Structure formats: structure tokens, C-alpha cells
Chains A and B, each alone.
Chain A
Amino acid sequence: MKIWIAKQKALIDFTLSSLARRKLKNLGLLLVYTLIVFLLASVMLFTHALRHEAAQVLKGTPEVIVQRMVAGRHDLIPPGYIEKLGRIRGVQHIEGRLWGYFYDPLVKANYTFMSPTAGNINEIQIAAREIVIGAAVARARGLAAGNLISFRSYTGKLFVFTVASVLPHDAELVSADLILLSEADYRAFFDIPVGFYTDIALSVANPQEVRNIAGKLAETLPDARLILREEVLRTYESIFNWREGIVLVLLSGSILAFAIFAWEKASGLSAEEKREIGILKAIGWETGDVLKMKFWEGALVSLTAFLLGYIAAYLHVFHFSTALFEPVLKGWSVLYPRFELVPVVDGFQVATLFFFTVFPYTVATIVPIWRAAITDPDAVMRG
């Protein structure tokens, strides 16, 4: 065993010297390889942590949301709708919700206006002409509790509100763009008559019956669209799915880059590398030794790239708030939530990443060497 270890150490020494002879090329290779792992690992860690957090936080979202559709679009719930729902057996609690969007031309940002049904949030009563704002809104408009702010409503009237409080920074992932106000203020601001609602949230007495009750609701109200809690959760389970959108673009880019790597390695060795193998064979190295040396080369490069890339990705996602992805995620939005995701690492995913980055490269390094190593040293050296 001791001899075997000593032999491997000697092979690694030789490999490192060989790598050092083409320092620039190999360092460039290591850098690009690390970047690919970093990119893939960042996407993987970010989406996994986001999905996990969404599942945790959105557990308490309304059981069923009833929207009214007119010509394929979301419309206001008219008076009498809630009463119709109340007659369906199994429906426990019905609540008309008031929420909508407002574009602030001053900072070119979209806000979500909402009137909390309970009338209070975090034990703070929202009084008339008062608002509670999300942290990103406060940042964009430079507001703090006690400040005054005015908005020109869609009817053209100017409304002045006092900021009662700012929602905590820790809640930005769910509340960055929120502006909470009382029901009377909401109706006056958007000119929505009493009895009309944006949509309806309802809860069901027996959670096992949600699907049946949804079926009954759809029969009673053919113009309604029902969104179940499980559908909301499923939407976030598949968020940033690898088969869709930018993740696919990133993934295919990385895979293509990786394929070029492998192709470059597999399609042929440089004349210098071939001469090196020829000399090694001529001075008595066996084919197995040459292969072992090249195995160590592939393994050392890919393992280093994997470890460095993964550690950098972890720091990027969980300690630097995924700063490099911000321009992509931000798009045209002015309000952008600043959130620190709770680190969740899935061992299986890390193992998959390891397998798909380290293994192919190591194999791609060995195959062409094996081809060169089994030919006659004289022929190899002559090229």
C-alpha cells in the first residue's frame, strides 16, 4: 500500500510539473471551468433556496381564490357574488379582497395597493389617510414613519397619506412593493363602489373537500376562475424550472462551453503533449502509468474547479444576495426586493453537479491519451 501511495504521489508530482510547463493555458482552463461550475451552482442554490422559502412562507395563502373573468380577463366581483358563494355547503369563511396596482410616474415604479381585510397589520391599526408601506417603497421614495406622501389617483384627484409604519426589511420577499391602506381609502382612491371587490378568498371546512367544493363553485359561477392553494404552491415549486426561460439558456450555454472543452481535449492532443507521451513511453513508462498520470491531471483540475466554483457560488448566493444575477432578475422593475435567502443545500443536487462536472472532464482527458499511449512511441514522437 505504501508503495502504491508513493507511486501516486510521484505521478502527481510529475503531473503538476507537466501542468506548470503550460501554465497560462492550464490556468485559463481552470478559470473557465471554475466559472462554469460557479454559474451552474449559483443558479442551482438560488432556485432551490427560493423554492424552499416560497413553500415555507406561502403555506398560509388563502385556500381558494375566486376571480371573475370577463372576456378572458380578470374583472371586479360585483355585489351579490359573495352571497351566492355563501349558499354552497362546505364553504366556511368568505372574504372579499381589495388589491390592485398603481404606477407611480415620479419614480416609474409599480406598487401593489392593498386593503387588509382584518383592518390591522402586525397589531397596527390602519387609520383613515394612513398607509403602511413595504421596505422597497420606502427606499424608492425616501420615506420613513410619520412622513407625508401624495399620489394622484386614476381619477385625477390628489390623495395625501401619512406613513404609519414601514414593513420590516426581513419581509421584503413578500411585501417589498406593498402599500396598505384602509378599505374606505382604497375605494376612494381607485373609485370602486361599495360592494365590489377585486377577488374573493375563501376557506373550506374540510381541507379534503377543497377540490369537490371548487367543482361546485365552478358550476354555480361559470364566469369564475378558481385558484387553489395547492396551485399557488405548485406555481412556486416549478419556479425557475431548468427546462424554462433563462435557466435553460444558462444551462445550454454552459453545456456548450463544456462540450467545447471536452471536444478540444478529445479531438487531439497538442504536438507537445504527444511528444511528451512518446518520450515517456520511450524511457520505459507503461501505458497504464501514462493513463494514471493523465487521470490525476483531469481529476485535480476538475476537483479544484468544482470546489472553488461551488464555494464561490455559495458565498455569492447566501452572503452577497446573488448580486451578479440582480441585473437579470431586476429587468425593468424600479422596485427590487433586497432579500437574503435562508441557505438550504440539497446534498443530492450537489452530488449531481459534482458528477456532471467532474466526471465528464476526467473521462475526456483520459480517452485521447489512451489512444496516443497505445501507439508506437516512435510514431507518436514523429507526429
Chain B
Amino acid sequence: MQSRKSHRVFAFLAICLTLFLLTFADAAIQSAGSAETLAANERLVVQLGLTDLCLFTEARYTRHPSQADLHSAFQDHPLGLEHFPSGSLLSPPNNLAASYENLDSKTKSAD
């Protein structure tokens, strides 16, 4: 039988679809295999009392975003805009601004 273009395309798409489905299978197999590593990391976090992931080591407010204070991004002087590249990837945690918003709404004296 003569090979038709549509048959070749369907075969190609079928291979792609199989690979696509295999990614789900691979994810399931790999995550089952790394349960032990995750548990070991969790133990390390408990033992050392770690609070953050070590994603960016260039600035303290991106190394430990959950521990940063509101002013640390502008650490050099009051008008010194933050200049670390990772500052543009990470936004400050919500709770940082939230505590100031709380104070703002409760203040009794006029600004």
C-alpha cells in the first residue's frame, strides 16, 4: 500500500502523544523514587530549624525571603533602589506588607 502523507503525520503525532503520556509516567516513577531524599531534606530542615530554600545567594532578602524586613531591599540608603537581579524574580512575601497595613488601619493619630 502506498504511504500517504496523512498516515505519516498520524504516526508522528502518535509518537509525540506517547512521549507526552510517558512524561506523566516518568513523573510518577521519579517522584516515588525520590520520597527518601525529600524526607531526608525535611529532617535536615527540622534539625537545623531552616526557614528558606537556598535559591538565590546574592542578597539576604532573596536568600531568606521569609525572614526579610521591609527595608532590606533598599539597604544602602533611603533612596537606594534595590539592584540585585534576583529581586526582580522574587516579590516580597505578603505577610511583610500585611503587618504594616494592619498598623496603618489601626493608627489613631493623623499622619
Q: A342 touching B49 by the CB < 8 A rule? A: no
Q: Which of A9, A60, A69 has the most CB of B within 10 A?
A: A60
Which of A142-150, A174-182, A284-292, A355-363 lies at the interface with chain B? A174-182
Within 8 A of A (CB), among B36-55: 37-38, 40-55
Q: B63 touching A101 by the CB < 8 A rule? A: yes
A333 within 8 A of B: yes
A112 within 8 A of B: yes
CA A339 – CA B38 in complex, angstroms? 12
A116 within 8 A of B: yes
Q: Digitize B60-74: 1 where CB-to-A-CB distance is under 8 Å, 0 elsewhere.
A: 100101110111100
Name the interface size band of chain B: 35 or more
Main secondary structure of the interface of A (DSSP, over half): mixed
A154 to chain B, nearest CB (A): 15
Given contacts A174-B54, A343-B26, contact A303 B6 (CB under 8 A): no
A24 within 8 A of B: no
Q: A343 touching B31 by the CB < 8 A rule? A: yes
Which of A156-164, A304-312, A365-373 lies at the interface with chain B? A304-312
- Which residues on B sit within 8 Å (CB–CB) of A234? 93-95
Q: A232 touching B26 by the CB < 8 A rule? A: no
A to B CB contacts below 8 Å, 23 in the list: A9-B6, A13-B4, A50-B53, A57-B45, A58-B53, A72-B69, A112-B63, A168-B40, A170-B37, A171-B44, A174-B50, A175-B48, A176-B57, A177-B63, A225-B99, A231-B95, A232-B52, A232-B66, A234-B94, A235-B65, A236-B53, A329-B55, A329-B86
- Chain A residues with a Cβ under 8 A of chain B: 9, 12-13, 16-17, 50, 53-54, 56-62, 65, 67, 69, 72-74, 95, 97, 101, 109-110, 112, 114, 116-118, 121-122, 134, 136, 167-168, 170-178, 180, 199, 201, 225, 227-228, 231-232, 234-236, 238-241, 244-246, 300, 303-304, 307-308, 310-311, 314, 318, 328-329, 331-337, 342-345, 347
